[in-house]
Amino acid sequence: MASKIIFMGTPEFSIPTLQILNLNHDIKSVYTQPPKKKSRGQKIIKSPIHIEAEKLKIPVRFPENLNNDSDYEFVKSSDVNFVIVVAYGQIIPEKFLNIKNLIFLNIHASLLPRWRGAAPIQRSIMEMDKETGISIMKIVPKLDAGPYVLQKSTNINPKDNYLSLSKRLSNIGAELILESISLFEKDIVKLTDQQDKFVTYAKKISKKESEIDWNENAKKLIAKINGLNPYPGAWFKHNGKRIKILEAELYDNQGEIGEVLTDDLVVSCNDKAIKINLIQKEGKAVLDANSFLAGYKIVKGEILT
């Protein structure tokens, strides 16, 4: 049977869930983050979910925050069964969660209780986890602390980056939410409490944190590059210019920390080295190492800091 749903989401990660719910259930309204002004030309940019909802002809609401009577009354009087939240970008106020006979479910991109918080996909790659997954969690006032309905895992491959893993997890989440809703509809759902002793937190990625430290272990540095690809990107400064590394591989040679060992961008770390495959100068296109070096000089023997 089709349940009535309010959907809350913002980035591309949320789109597969919106699409599959629209095919199988009745989405009454979509909530997303407000449109933003692009710095140049003041062009208004709508969120990916906003654009997708308009394509699907679903009404869209985009308050600055949910701490207002208008949206509370709207949700309370909407006569829906579920509010499905996928990377919405706002905390749901407790008074919303207390609305009678309304179930709030969140699609979280980790195997809770590991990696509660804002950046679970990036953190799982950067910490070189072997697996991650999706948790369908009942929302409670404490951040990402609610009991989960279902979980599904996926391996993290050595070449996975944020983009590839995010796409895989978003598709898993879309399928898993359908199964979870079905369990509620059949009244056979079993909620599993999270074990507090296993909690870890995936704090938001800071700009400073994304700066490359050549004194890091080479494998750890590659994990950082993968976890931050494509955004915000792991970067270093060269002649005052910020340069991002988007893809690199392990290399056995070693020299002085930060030393450019070859003419094709092999750089020494504190144990082995990394060979840079994809690189981007600030404000320019992503290039392979050879194309980049054809127009920009980083020479063998230099010490990068």
Q: What is the pLDDT of residue 38?
A: 75
**Which structure tokens are listed for 238?**
């060269």
Structural domains in the chain? Answer: 4-198 (3.40.50.170), 218-295 (3.10.25.10)
For the whole model, what pTM was predicted? Answer: 0.95
- Other CB atoms within a 10 A radius of the CB of residue 7 amount to 27
pLDDT at 40: 64
**CB-CB neighbours of 132 under 10 Å:** 24
Q: How many CA atoms lie within 13 A of 190 on its CB side?
A: 2
* Local structure of residue 40 (DSSP, 8 states): T
Distance, CA of 155 to CA of 136 (rounded, Å): 18
Residue 296 pLDDT: 96
Task: Compute the residue count for the chain.
Answer: 305
The full DSSP string for 142-182 is STT-S-EEEEEEEE--TT--HHHHHHHHHHHHHHHHHHHHH
Q: Which pLDDT does position 172 carry in this prediction?
A: 98
10-residue block means of pLDDT along the chain (305 residues)? 95 98 98 86 89 98 97 97 97 97 98 98 98 98 97 96 98 98 98 97 93 97 97 94 97 94 96 97 95 96 95
